[in-house]
Structure 1
């Protein structure tokens, strides 16, 4: 048999032999799935266990686990170390599970499905805790950071529901805010607001305390005759956040030259310095927010990338795909790749690369910062916060 190209920085259609090998590996218990593949510049592990498109994959439990869900009507909790399923959650949903979310400060998770049900599960036993049903297809869900509230989006009502995570009781119904399908709904980090994006190309922020919409953002371009999904801007997407007057007057920051297909998902790192995006062009892109440049494109999925998630320490990235797999990418040392360093130095707007005096790894900084004061990467600074004193902003 011809040698198999497993370079994660090149994407090829799998051959019939490779498809058969993947199916055989899955039946045999994933084989050596727990081993990193180092043939490419970015080490990668492939998680195989779903029999249909994977709709979401979320790193959780201090990034030691991955929770995924699929059109095969199941959810799987994976061990990151050996990439084997710890538990499969099935037998409840009758249609595609569109999204899943871990409930913080608990050993529970929730799933939503096109069968119009939200289900809360015990991750340890696999038992269902409660089931909630609405008249529409459920397209997205999210949990508040304190683990008290859940939100889900329903179609064709174009509405969101705020639900008590402990009991499954409906607390609020928010409707008449969008004119088309809500594709994503998310709590803010303080659990005070819910953001929604929709196929009507609008983004809404709904305040839980005031119980009203406090911001509406539209991205309908002048030359467009009809609305398109927010995540469907071909070849570009927007990084949007409620950042005060400048944002309200000038809008979001558009990142271009990223993807050749619609963007399906994007996610910020915990420090907001890295943005990762997945696309229907089968690739995952990484963006440096200090320079607003794309630093890396990850290729390897053979079908649409449907969801992306990044670890809190920025060492791992998980991507879900319609090709029935979840990929774990080890991006810890990506700044050491020559192409990445060159991009950040030549394409960035006001960025250069320094070497950390403690761990020896390269890291990007703004040229507004003085290198003799900033000598450690963010991770080493977090270990010894009192050794670093930030420089005051330059006088304008």
Structure 2
């Protein structure tokens, strides 16, 4: 079995903190998800997570104007510069302070960073092929070079916006002021302070013509500034008459009651201003008239960030407290994207039988269905009134079973997306685990309060039996893949094997040394593995009911320290054990995870640790650090555990909102740090990937490399002329790739039709896979619209011959293109069948009708249907006088 699994995608979480970004073309949205960045393709309905990871949660994101460089900075000021098309981290750098604002200039040569009260402008590192002052493609040994430092604010900088010529930029701060700065010293220009707000300024922007400045503060005040001459009455004798200054021309207010402005964005091209408030409402205004265009409530908590795409049609919102991400098209009043992750910790996950979906359940009572190909949540079930503890898919059909602490087990139809059956016990019990037999006819559930196992019939919904025998809470249930037995694990240190479908329902107890946490059957149903509280993994034979082998996983599971730990990571206090275990598809390996930052892959026969997967390196989560720093220890304890909200600069952050009489404050507020843990792991049915439900979300590790290198991505020589030149030189593969890169329909068609038929197979075999989807769509379109029918079928045959296995393994990645190709082939088949049906009787009549042909000696010769001249002369009447002429002979 292959073990080189790599991190592929992050699901279950769509937004965490920081700001959102649209790509320059407005089709992709960049969202910070903890210490990673997820890119949502809004046009193709796909998402992927960039492979790099910060050591803390990301605070700010910025894209250069061309969209190929992404600068991400975490809460401690550590920055990573990433090449977006290749998903490659280029440089690492630290700004030695918390960054509160970040913005690239319109030219892309500089970017400004707000670090506390000061602003630093840095030169943008160059990329390969880019022309710099040192020459084309110069290598930078010190890529981050500081251009200038600006000081003058007395509070943290909240936003930075550049002018369109990149000569000036605006900064807003918590000191109630905004300032106008110049990139380089300008003759006659002095940095200007825009004062007048009574509360911290959220943002400041230039208008399109740069003659107007808009500033918004938290109290809902919008000031419009214009460059006007001074009042004549205020002029002194020494002041020149042409002296000008920025002055407030108009004042507008959002008319809020107790709500406050949390974020705002301005689109200069369309003069649109959008503001988000603490009550979850956003408003859209047209400037400079301040006409309210739109208002909508999109969340139950405050809106954390807002941004507008390049065309001004889409608005993106993020709510950090609930993990919501929304993209709203205000003209049609419709959602382009509406996603939200689980609010509480994940408890379990399961793959659908086809592997196209992953189902997750969490303590927030929600069940979400995630598409593995697109990364989006398709449907959310909210019928459970309490935390959902376990989920299990039936091996046949599209039926999902879930257990919950609300005392019910529910069956879900994933074709109609409805709850069609609810199973309950005679007494109200919080169910902790669920299992379904392979036939999908019986469902079993166990509880932590009752020591019995309940069985229900899926068809009738009636309880069939109650299995008694355990002397402790039931923690895990599992049917064997052949459906012969049911295995249950309990905190009473035993595993019981139940023959539920035999006439005599017997149970065989297997004694272990500690509490049973999880068990899993091997796919051949001859062996099962058990994970216990003492960190042991034991393997048992089902037929002989005896232990085959054992593994000690305590040392492998240990790793990572909490802030309050006083021991090393290897000897840290607490139970280091695996809470979840699963077999691989071939049964040669087991995958285990628990309250650790590691997922371990073991070989069953050898008992060797094959590979360790590090789940997270985010230091904002407990249990990820290997070494603690003594500088973070104070007399009152670890610095990160001290509540410093009373020292916050903002009034709303200092207010005490705790419940009266509560010693621990408001229970709805999270003041504890999340702890790293893995609650469930599962292999995909294809065996090419596996999922892990953890603190950060749903982590997918895959053998497939989704990133496909485009050899012509950064080549500036790709032009229509160079494409035709390559075609003239008979370099067909290069010409086809260049045509796809330019994406001109006429050029693609010309290159495609010029390729000789004998070269089709070779070109398809050597074609980079990044162009495979485009070629499929083009051939399918030509099959439906073009006249080259046989040519299209030859291309289709070559594609399926050389890339069919790869497209099958990739699942839904090429689903849309394959559907288009299937429709095209079916249409060709249908058209040919219609032609055959229409001409069948005419051809049959022509072939069956006899025809008389004159012979050379003047006699008539009867010709059969198989004669070569039957088709020509079937309808001709031969005259005796013209026999010679008809035969081409002289009458003599």
TM-score by length of 2: 0.32
Q: 1:229 to 1:25 in 2, by over 3 A?
A: same
> Deviation string for 1:345-369 (max 9, x for gaps)?
xxxxxxxxxxxxxxxxxxxxxxxxx
Mark the CA change 1:150 to 1:238 in structure 2 (over 3 Å): closer, same or farther. Answer: same
In structure 1, distance between residues paired with 2:449 and 2:371: 36
- State the shift of 1:251 in Å: 5.2
Counterpart of 2:698 in structure 1 is: 326
Residue of structure 2 aligned with 1:170, choices 443, 463, 470: 463
Q: Which residue of 2 aligns with 1:126?
A: 417
* Contact in 2 for aligned 1:117/1:133 (Cα 8 Å): yes
- Correspondence list, 1:54-133, <5 A: 54-90=346-382, 92-133=383-424
CA pair 189-304 structure 1, distance change in 2 beyond 3 A = same
Deviation at 1:186, TM superposition (A): 0.8
Structure 2 SS opposite 1:317: strand
SS in 2 for 1:67: strand
1 or 2, which has the higher helix percentage? 2
Partner SS for 1:272:
coil
Question: Displacement of 1:69 after TM fit?
Answer: 0.6
Instruction: Using the TM superposition, give the Cα deviation of residue 93 of structure 1 relative to its aligned residue in structure 2, in angstroms.
Output: 1.1
Bigger relative CO (Cα 8 Å, ≥ 6 apart): 1
| 2:555 paired with 1:264 | no
Contact 2:541/2:548 (<8 A) preserved: no
Shift of the 304–106 alpha-carbon distance from structure 1 to 2, 3 Å rule, reads same
Query: For residues 690 and 536 of structure 2, what CA distance do their matches in structure 1 show?
Result: 20
Equivalent-residue separation in structure 1 for 2:703 and 2:603 (angstroms)? 13
Cα 1:109–1:8 shift into 2, 3 Å = closer
| 5+ long unaligned stretches in structure 2 | 1-5, 9-14, 21-30, 41-45, 54-86, 88-338, 518-530, 559-575, 622-675, 706-804, 806-892
Distance in 2 separating the partners of 1:183 and 1:265: 11
Q: Structure 1 211/152 Cα, relative in aligned 2: closer, same or farther at 3 Å? A: farther
Confirm whether residue 35 of structure 1 aligns to residue 48 of structure 2.
yes
The corresponding residue for 2:505 is 212
Is the alpha carbon distance of 1:22 and 1:89 closer, same or farther for their aligned partners in structure 2, counting shifts above 3 Å? Answer: farther
Distance 2:537 2:379 in 1: 35
Shift of 1:38: 4.2
Q: Secondary structure at the match of 2:361?
A: strand
Report the 3-state secondary structure (helix = DSSP H, G, I; strand = E; otherwise coil) of the residue aligned with 1:152: strand
Inter-CA distance 331–159: structure 2 relative to 1 (3 Å threshold): farther
Range that drifts further, 162-171 or 140-149: 162-171
Q: Deviations over 1:73-132 (max 9, x none)?
A: 011111101111111111x21111001112232222111101111111121332211212
Structure 1 residues 36, 219: closer, same or farther in 2, change over 3 A?
A: same
Paired residues for 1:128-143 under 5 Å? 128-134=419-425, 135-143=428-436
Cα RMSD, aligned residues only: 3.1
Between 231-240 and 196-205, the greater mean CA deviation after superposition: 231-240
Distance 1:19 1:173 in 2: 44
Alignment CA distance shift 1:172-1:252 (3 Å): farther
Q: Which one of 590, 597, 618 corresponds to residue 275 of structure 1?
A: 590
CA shift digits 1:271-295 (9 cap, x unpaired): 2111111111132111122322111
In structure 1, list runs of 5 or more residues that go unmatched.
1-6, 10-17, 221-226, 334-378, 380-396
- Of 428, 447, 464, which aligns to 1:154? 447
In structure 2, C-alpha distance between the alignment counterparts of 1:20 and 1:36, rounded to whole Å:
16
SS, match of residue 438 in structure 2: coil
**Contact 2:599-2:615 at 8 Å conserved across structures:** no
CA distance in 1, matches of 2:39, 2:377: 12
- Structure-2 change in CA distance of 1:190 and 1:39 (3 Å): same
- Give the whole-Å Cα distance in 1 for the aligned partners of 2:387 and 2:365: 5
Match of 2:454, SS state, is strand
Q: What is the match of residue 289 of structure 1?
A: 604
User: Larger Cα Rg: Structure 1 or Structure 2?
Assistant: 2
Residue 39 to residue 213, structure 1, CA distance change in 2 (3 Å): farther
Residue-pair matches, total: 302
Take 1:235 and 1:22, find their aligned partners in 2: how far apart are those partners? 41
Aligned to 1:238: 538
| d(CA) in 1 for partners of 2:50, 2:696 | 19
Cα pair 2:429 2:449 within 8 Å, conserved:
yes
CA offsets per residue over residues 332-385 of structure 1, 9 Å max, x none?
A: 69xxxxxxxxxxxxxxxxxxxxxxxxxxxxxxxxxxxxxxxxxxxxx9xxxxxx
From the superposition, tell whether residues 293 and 52 of structure 1 become closer, same or farther in structure 2 (CA, over 3 Å). same
Q: Is the 8 A contact 1:8 1:298 kept in 2?
A: no
Structure 1 SS opposite 2:17: helix
Q: Write out aligned runs for 1:308-327 (5 A).
A: 308-321=681-694, 323=695, 325-327=697-699
Q: Tell me if structure 2 keeps the 8 A contact 1:113–1:139.
A: yes
- The two structures have a TM-score, normalised by structure 1, of 0.69
Distance 1:218 1:147, change over 3 A: same
Q: Relative to 1, partners in 2 of residues 1:67 and 1:153: Cα closer, same or farther, differing over 3 Å? A: same
Match of 1:20 in 2: 17
CA distance in 2, matches of 1:125, 1:51: 25
